[in-house]
């Protein structure tokens, strides 16, 4: 079990409160999720800048140093509690390929027994990029394989096609690994190319905030309830747990997918609806 954080903004902004100073910041959560951390930012150009640490974030000065310097329009952060694969850099999140960056909160059930079957679903040239031993990295390259069937992996991305590729990934993996009557694989995925950002909820908690991390202020057009699909947001913030005790954190429903397009317009889908599309 891990923890993830995603941030997308119309303008570059600081995320230091969410990562370090909030009541339930990632720094505090790292006392439990202690097997390394990663932060990816999109600052200049199209490629993400990725920093990793292999120790607990709360006692690693690099985590706070990196967090304090980040001011970006797109940020992804991850805390790892290792379930599959040793604590080493090749198994550390975020995973990235080209413009795409990916983190996972959860565990694929019975992964060892089905690893080769999952790998067989990945396009060979993408499979060749796998370096680590985790279920998460393989889910990432399976996602890229499915997305490549729908659009190019380069250039602009369609938010609905990204969501469809994530839904297909969840369906293919769960079909191979889950056993009826037993606990389902937990697959909270978050993926971005710096413009589009999409996340899934399956068997782990996920929350959406409508408040800017650096100011604590809510958008003027929202009055207590969660933002509705079709709303153009100023900022889009996702986290595995509520980072503060305030009421601006809204739970994402189980088996739902939430995301924003390149214009920060909010979208939500049920996984079953996406999987049913031709």
Q: What is the pLDDT of residues 176-201, one digit of tens each?
A: 999 999 999 999 999 999 999 999 99
Q: What is the pLDDT of residue 277?
A: 60
Tens digit of each residue's pLDDT (9 = 90 or more) over 87-137: 788 999 999 999 999 999 999 999 999 999 999 999 999 999 999 999 999
pLDDT > 80? residue 166: yes
CA distances from 208 to 180, 228, 270 (A): 30, 11, 16
Q: What residues contact 246, with CB distance under 8 A and at least 6 apart? A: 211, 216
As a whole number of Å, the end-to-end CA separation of the chain is 33
Rg (CA), the chain: 17
CA-to-CA distance for 4 and 191, rounded, in angstroms? 11
Residue 191: beta bridge partners? 102, 198
Helices (H), 12-86: 16, 26-29, 61-69
Angle, to 10 degrees, between the axis of helix 111-120 and the axis of helix 135-150? 30
C-alpha torsion 235→103→198→153, nearest 10: 120
Q: What is the pLDDT of residue 278?
A: 54
Structural domains of the chain, with CATH: 3-275 (3.60.20.10)
Q: What is the pLDDT of residue 103?
A: 97
15 within 8 A of 213, measured Cβ to Cβ: yes
Mean pLDDT of the residues in the chain = 90
Q: What is the pLDDT of residue 51?
A: 94
Token digits for 48?
Answer: 């993400």
Q: Which residues of 60-90 are buried (b: 16+ CB within 10 A; e: fewer)?
A: beebbebbeebbbbbbbbbbbbbbbbeeeee
Mean pLDDT check: name the lowest of 36-40, 158-162, 223-227.
223-227
Tens digit of each residue's pLDDT (9 = 90 or more) over 53-99: 988 898 999 998 999 988 899 999 999 876 766 778 899 999 999 99
Residue 199: beta bridge partners? 190, 258
Taking the model in full, what pTM does it have? 0.93
CA-to-CA distance for 248 and 251, rounded, in angstroms? 10
CA-to-CA distance for 71 and 14, rounded, in angstroms? 4
Q: What is the pLDDT of residue 221?
A: 47
| Residue showing tokens 């710096």 | 194
Q: What is the biggest distance separating any 2 CA atoms in the chain, rounded to whole angstroms?
A: 51
Residue 11: is it exposed, middle or buried by C-beta count within 10 angstroms (0-12/13-18/19+)? exposed
Q: Which residues of 153-166 are buried (b: 16+ CB within 10 A; e: fewer)?
A: eeeebebbbbbbbb
Q: What residues contact 227, with CB distance under 8 A and at least 6 apart? A: 208, 210, 219, 233, 266
């Amino acid at each position: 079990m891990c923890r993830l954080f995603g941030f997308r903004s119309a303008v570059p902004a600081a995320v230091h409160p969410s990562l370090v100073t909030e009541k339930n910041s990632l720094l505090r959560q790292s006392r439990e999720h202690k097997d390394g951390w990663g932060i990816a930012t999109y600052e200049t150009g199209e490629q993400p800048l990725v920093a990793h640490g292999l120790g607990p974030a709360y006692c690693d000065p690099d985590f706070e140093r990196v967090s304090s310097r980040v001011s970006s329009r797109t940020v992804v952060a991850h805390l790892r509690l290792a379930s599959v694969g040793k604590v080493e850099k090749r198994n550390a999140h975020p995973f990235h390929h080209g413009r795409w960056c990916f983190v996972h909160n959860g565990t694929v059930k019975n992964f060892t027994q089905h690893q080769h079957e999952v790998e067989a679903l990945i396009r060979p040239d993408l499979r060749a990029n796998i370096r680590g031993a985790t279920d998460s990295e393989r889910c990432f390259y399976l996602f890229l394989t499915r997305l490549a069937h729908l659009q190019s992996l380069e250039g602009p991305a369609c938010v609905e096609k990204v969501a469809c590729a994530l839904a297909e990934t969840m369906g293919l993996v769960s079909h191979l690994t889950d056993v009826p009557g037993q606990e389902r694989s937990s697959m909270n995925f978050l993926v971005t190319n710096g413009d589009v950002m999409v996340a899934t909820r399956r068997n782990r908690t996920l929350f959406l905030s409508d408040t800017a991390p650096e100011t604590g202020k809510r958008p003027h057009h929202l009055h207590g309830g969660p933002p509705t699909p079709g709303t153009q947001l100023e900022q889009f913030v996702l986290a595995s747990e509520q980072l503060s005790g305030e009421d601006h954190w809204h739970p994402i429903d189980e088996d739902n997918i939430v995301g924003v397009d390149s214009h920060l317009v909010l979208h939500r889908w049920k996984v079953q609806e996406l999987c049913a599309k031709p």
